[in-house]
Amino acid sequence: MEFSVSTDAPDAVPCDAIAVGVFAGGALQGAAHRLDEALGGVLSASLAEEKFEAKPGSTAAVHTHGRIAAARVIVSGLGAQTEFTLDRLRQAAAAAVRRTGDLHAGRLALTALAIPPHSSAALTQARVEGTILGAYQFTRYRAPRTGQVEHVTLLADPPQRDEVERGLQRGRLFADAAVFARDLVNEPPNVVNPAYVAALVEDIGRSTGLRWTVFDDDALRAQQMDAILAVGQGSMQPPRLTVLEYIPPNPRRTIAIVGKGVTFDSGGLSLKTAEGMVTMKSDMAGGAAVLATMRALPALAPPVRVLGIVPAVENLPSGNATKPGDIIRALNGKTIEINNTDAEGRVILADALAYAAQQAPDEIIDLATLTGSAVIALGYLAAAVLGNDQALIHRLLDAAARAGERMWQLPLYDEYLEEMRSDVADLKNSGGRWGGAEKGAAFLREFVDGRPWAHIDIAPVAFLDTKEGTGPYLQKGATGYGVRTLLTYLGSEGG
């Protein structure tokens, strides 16, 4: 998809469709009002006839019959003006591009909005993110299901052109990174395995100038990362621990981001059901988010050093597989009784977090499709966040809100850790069904060496197994959740 910026009047832009945002209740405003005047009132009359309520994500299409340069007007609902958010604008742009694709129209124009206190750059970034994410289709192994928009023109008031250009660049960076993560998770598990992740890390390092390190199984053994090895030993694909490092001039501090990278999870000997296994290529969505974020950092250029750490394994049953009852020792010396081989994500993260802590970062953030309990608690509408540092959690919640990625804090009481104590080892890897998201986080906390840490359980939102997803820019399949939150956090907060 190509983008350009134009300062032409809305009725003078030649395209297959021009999209305008409309608020619920009241008269048409701004570009919508100007287009309605140019069309002799046809736009407002059509919306009235259709009883268009301008609900968020809703659209209406009106043919112009040559009265303006655009062949159609796509009206996208923004909801009530008093409830406007940047995510409403993302949804409106996504809905517009999807409607345009359904009409097999290739050229779309998006009109400008002026909504204080949001800057033109922020409004443009939201438009671009919504457009790219709304148009997304994973078509590597099939033909596109709808038409594809090839060119998008962003309209701008002449004094705001530079801000719009800045918003375009930032929106493309954020959305392209999320698309990279979506593609990686949507790839089949016979393509994406630990070796594939390792090769991808090397490619990212070479193409971006990031430092990279890959620990193969021999290096993992030498480093005494027995937890990662234990989970991966049932597969013919040896595990890997991959590290990417971004170092700006004079970094203010160091942040480690860690992503769970189980490229396929059968449950191991604690085998999942066939139904529960079918989407388990998505169990590396946290790792994909970390890799996508690291890949975008040189262009974003935040003032902090960032370590991106992804342990990559396949969790399969075999004669070599880890058994319930086995005891393993993690990198920091803590012993773990394996009482459920399907609680493997926290086991590989034990080594990855301990490795991150050894690098002496100022804070650690991990993303993982860790528990079904988070899905039970939050449905498919928000990720869970837990941690040992409330200030860090507040900053992440703020970044997630600005990115339009819902996140909700769950408690991390000390009693949850007591449920993870083993009779024969320091810890066990499963503490039972109830409070599973909190117990999993309590387990992970034991491997961060007391450093400020936040755990984001993305199991509810990483992969949508529904036909329509949960919004105009969240289609069935991988969502790329967490990428835009991390980029927002690292780029604007700087930690």
What is the per-residue burial (b if ≥16 Cβ within 10 Å, else e) of 191-219?
Answer: ebbbbbbbebbeebbeebebebebbebee
Of 161, 166, 272, 476, catalytic: 272
Catalytic hit among 34, 305, 346, 484: 346
Model confidence pTM above 0.75: yes
Chain position carrying tokens 């980029």: 487
What phi, psi does 376 have (nearest 5°)? -60, -40
Full 3-state SS string of the chain: CEEEEECCCHHHCCECEEEEEECCCCCCCHHHHHHHHHCCCHHHHHHHHCCCCCCCCCEEEEECCCCCCECEEEEEECCCHHHCCHHHHHHHHHHHHHHHHHCCCCEEEECCCCCCCCCHHHHHHHHHHHHHHHHCCCCCCCCCCCCCCCEEEEECCHHHHHHHHHHHHHHHHHHHHHHHHHHHHHCCCCCCCHHHHHHHHHHHHHHHCCEEEEECHHHHHHCCCHHHHHHHCCCCCCCEEEEEEECCCCCCCEEEEEECEEEEECCCCCCCCHHHHCCHHHHHHHHHHHHHHHHHHHHHCCCCEEEEEEEEEEECCCCCCCCCCCEEECCCCCEEECCCCCCCHHHHHHHHHHHHHHCCCCEEEEEECCCHHHHHHHCCCCEEEEECCHHHHHHHHHHHHHHCCCEEECCCCHHHHHCCCCCCCCEECCCCCCCHHHHHHHHHHCCCCCCCEEEEECCCCCEECCCCCCECCECCEECCCCHHHHHHHHHHHCC
Quick: pLDDT tens for 86-106.
999 999 999 999 999 999 999
Nearest to 484 by CA among 4, 86, 84, 5: 86
What pLDDT is stored for residue 147 in this prediction? 87
Report the alpha-carbon distance of residue 162 to residue 30 in Å, rounded: 20
Rounded percentage of the chain residues whose pLDDT exceeds 90 = 95
pLDDT at 431 over 70: yes
Annotated catalytic, 346? yes
pLDDT category, 495, cuts 50, 70, 90?
very low
Q: What is the pLDDT of residue 144?
A: 87
Question: What tens digit of pLDDT does each residue of 108-164 get?
Answer: 999 998 898 999 999 999 999 999 999 999 999 999 888 899 999 999 999 999 999
- Residue 33 has a CB neighbour count (10 Å cut-off) of 16
pLDDT of residue 433: 85
Q: Is 251 exposed, middle or buried (0-12, 13-18, 19+ CB in 10 A)?
A: middle
pLDDT at 332: 98
Query: Would you kindly state where each structural domain of the chain is located, as residue ranges?
Result: 2-157, 179-493
pLDDT by residue (tens digit) across 220-247?
999 999 999 999 999 999 999 999 999 9
User: Which residue type, as a one-letter code, is found at position 95?
Assistant: A
**What is the share, in percent, of the chain residues with pLDDT greater than 70?**
99
| Residue pLDDT, tens place only, 285-309 | 999 999 999 999 999 999 999 999 9
pLDDT tens readout for residues 351-407: 999 999 999 999 999 999 999 999 999 999 999 999 999 999 999 999 999 999 999
Q: How far apart are CA 307 and CA 409, in angstroms?
A: 24
Given a cut of 90, whether residue 494 has pLDDT beyond it is no
> pLDDT band at residue 469, thresholds of 50, 70 and 90?
low
CATH top-level class of 2-157: alpha beta
Q: In the predicted model, what is the mean pLDDT of residues 412-425?
A: 97
Average pLDDT, the chain: 96
Is 476 annotated as catalytic? no
Does domain 179-493 fall under CATH 3.40.630.10? My reply is: yes
